[in-house]
A and B are shown apart, each in its own frame.
Chain A
């Protein structure tokens, strides 16, 4: 018995550590992405000012980079539950009511994210069938548009995961109280 419990803990820890590692890596990717954007921005302006070189499509690269950073960052923010929100009400409540409200908010988040992701998927499917490319870089428009799809799938997934963990804890604590 003792060893099985230990194994469970180990694998749980393994998952937690793996998840923490992924979160950290995505965070690093976003940071490096932002630094790269600063460099492209500076190079583009310098090239234009001196007239030495012209980075055609730099503006698109910067904006599409920003869109990807925003959507991946939004997944991490959902994971950390620190999206911008108004924290008026929940503070006044705690315990069971607070948990119920949190559950309701999480379900709304998952539902709306899946809804958006689905229509985003339909959109992307159709835009890819039309072979749309961007004006400056000439890359398929599927690449920047996919950021929205990935972002909302990710938000739905991490929120669903957090909700399940919450429900599990809630029932566990209720069980312990009885």
Chain B
């Protein structure tokens, strides 16, 4: 069963078939050869994979990213970062990482962040000597931080299916998200230094002030979105729509860089990008559903439960299992299916379920960019217009970095729980 799925997906993907075709063929074959539920369930699961309010953040943030690019908001923000930190090795790479992290604080979807940051930062990174592989690696992997930093769709789903407080999960994700970002920043900086990527001239107050003045309105955009969320004007999903509206306002009224025509063109290309991302999301949902009704994850987890592991052994086992699953499944469906099964075992071993939720989220965040299958990889490839093999090579070192972060987050529960205990 699992083999049929795996082999047909792998064969079709390797031959360059559209990902959604490979996934749906595998699901169709599995349902034909291993009859279970009626085939009309295909329609239902494809539709169900798209019919989720939180997924609206994908079209909205893709569109917002596009508008930031054509209005010049992104350029001005990047120039400011360069004026302030240009002397730091790898500053532009860190700016891309910072962009992802910033988008992460207002958005819960990793694919949208990759699209937005990739669209804005990739040309700059190439121009500044980062090389395609390195630039793609930075952009593809840093998007994963978005689902660890609150708000996060993955955590909302974990909270709902494991009966944990979503509010606590959000708080618990803050430090692990920062840890991931810091480790990434450290790696980007050191590797940029070793690769002798050219640095900017030393910091000059006058240049920085000029860049700040230039970027003032651009800076109000993330500020507006953050304030809007925390003042209750809009929800995290709606924030995407407001980000579009505000970026369009700045572009059309303040900077006058955006005409109605270019706005419409941006909307058309964002809609197309959304379609290409979401059809893969829907098809991946079908695969998860087929695996669930055929009892595959249940069997895997039963085997884990029967192994009689220590808490630490269990956590490591779960990490390996989830990293493997993350190679083929998308995190949203994986969390829905796996957490009701794994959390009771974790709790019986004395593991804090909030800590466990963070461990799961980080795992599946990494799964977003581990080859061969990772939504962030496909999105990056499409936005950056480069070969998959280059992205595969680019993300390799970052898998190492983020797995180290995962190890740290797994071994030190305080990273997740400290802020919570500080609260109560």
Contact = CB atoms under 8 A, between A and B. Distances in A.
**Contact between A and B in the complex (any CB pair below 8 Å):** yes
Interface in B231-278: 232-235, 238, 240-242, 244-245, 263-268, 270-272, 274-278
A145 B52 CA distance: 14
A41 B246 CA distance: 13
Interface string A72-106: 11101110001111111111000000000110110
Nearest to B277: A84
B52 to A, nearest CB: 7
A70 B382 contact: no
Most chain A CB within a 10 A radius of its CB, from B233, B235, B271 = B271
B283 to A, nearest CB: 10
The range of chain A's interface size is 35 or more
Dominant secondary structure of chain A at its interface with chain B: helix
A27 interface: yes
Interface in B100-130: none
Contacts of A46: 233
B377 to A, nearest CB: 8
Contacts of A153: none
B264 A119 contact: no
Given A31-B268, A62-B53, A105 B274 contact: no
Given A38-B244, A108-B17, A108-B25, A45 B276 contact: no
Contacts of A64: 51
B290 to A, nearest CB: 13
Contact of B39 (A86, A108, A119): A119
B118 to A, nearest CB: 13
B272 A27 contact: yes
B341 interface: no
A71 B378 CA distance: 18
B16 A45 contact: no
B14 interface: yes
Given A112-B21, A145-B47, A28 B264 contact: yes
A35 B268 CA distance: 9
A148 B46 contact: yes
B51 A67 contact: yes
Nearest to B269: A31
A105 B21 contact: yes
Nearest to B21: A109
Contacts of B17: 85, 105, 108-109
Interface stretch (B55-63, B69-77, B291-299, B412-420): B55-63
B272 A30 contact: yes
B318 interface: no
Most chain A CB within a 10 A radius of its CB, from B39, B232, B277 = B39
A142 to B, nearest CB: 12
A139 interface: no
Interface string B210-232: 00000000000000000000001
Contact of B18 (A39, A45, A84): A84
A42 B272 contact: no
Contacts of A31: 264-268, 270-271
B40 to A, nearest CB: 4
Given A86-B19, A108-B25, A123 B44 contact: yes
A152 to B, nearest CB: 9
A42 B28 CA distance: 40
B21 A126 contact: no
Contacts of B234: 45, 49
Contacts of A84: 18-20, 276-277, 280, 378-379, 381-382
Contact of B271 (A69, A82, A90, A115): A69
A44 interface: yes
B12 interface: yes
Given A66-B59, A70-B279, A115-B28, A88 B389 contact: yes
Contacts of B311: none
A164 interface: no
A9 interface: no
A140 interface: no
Given A34-B63, A42-B242, A87-B387, A76 B43 contact: no
A148 B286 CA distance: 13
B59 A44 contact: no
Contact of B268 (A27, A120, A124): A27
Given A32-B264, A86-B16, 10 more contacts: A41-B238, A41-B242, A42-B241, A45-B238, A63-B53, A69-B275, A74-B275, A89-B14, A105-B15, A122-B39
12 contacts: A30-B275, A41-B240, A45-B235, A49-B233, A62-B53, A62-B56, A66-B50, A70-B279, A86-B19, A105-B16, A119-B39, A123-B44
Interface of B: 12-21, 24-25, 28, 39-40, 42-44, 46-47, 50-53, 55-56, 59-60, 63, 232-235, 238, 240-242, 244-245, 263-268, 270-272, 274-280, 282, 372, 378-379, 381-382, 387-389
Question: 4 smallest A-B Cβ distances: which pairs?
Answer: A73-B275, A41-B241, A83-B18, A31-B267
